[in-house]
Amino acid sequence: MDTLQDIFRIALIGFGATAVMDVWLYLLRRMGVATQSFGLIGRWVGHLLRGQWAHQAISKADPIPGELALGWLTHYAVGAAFASLLAVAVSPDWMMRPTLLPALAVGMLTVAAPLLVMQPAMGAGIFASKTPSPLKSCIRSLVNHSVFGVGLYLTASLIAQVQF
């Protein structure tokens, strides 16, 4: 993975997988399932950039100008970073001949970020322990990140067919 083309391909795979996850989250919202606003992620990142890592409840923290845009930007940047983990962990060659299992495994492993970093920092506790239904929250996060993993595979497969 040493070419600009590989970096571009990884970014596209990450963006595509994140978009697949976003379609999933949209469908959940249409079915009445509550999902977290990316504005709160932007609020957390905004405070993080100002030196505050943890909050009692991110929803009660002072709003950050442009937090929704910052949240979406962060969401897609993290998706690209997670795609790079897949390329490094498996092999850059995976991008040319993608298979589902490594993508799904990496997607599932990425659930560690919200469960062990973001939720605790945003006031929800490790493994969502401070939420009304921790197990339900953890399962929902795992499913969402599994969808991201499927998105990694689907996007990489599409890009491999285009062969740019």
Per-residue pLDDT of the chain (164 residues; tens, 9 = 90+): 568 989 999 999 999 999 999 999 999 999 999 898 999 999 999 999 999 999 999 999 999 999 999 999 999 999 999 999 999 999 888 999 999 999 999 999 999 999 999 999 999 999 999 999 999 999 999 999 999 999 999 999 999 998 75
pLDDT (0 to 100) of residue 36: 87
* 42-79 burial: b if 16+ Cβ within 10 Å, else e: bbbbbbeeeeeeebeebeebeebeebbebbbebbbebb
pLDDT of 2 reads: 64
Contact assessment for residue 6 and residue 27, using Cβ atoms and an 8 Å cutoff: no
Half-sphere exposure of 23 (CA within 13 A, CB side): 9
Max CA pair span of the chain: 48
Q: What is the pLDDT of residues 68-94, one digit of tens each?
A: 999 999 999 999 999 999 999 998 889
Q: pTM for the full model?
A: 0.92
Place of tokens 């009445």: 32
The domain in which residue 41 lies consists of 4-162
Number of domains in the chain: 1
Q: Identify whether the C-beta of residue 86 lies closer than 8 Å to the C-beta of residue 78.
A: no
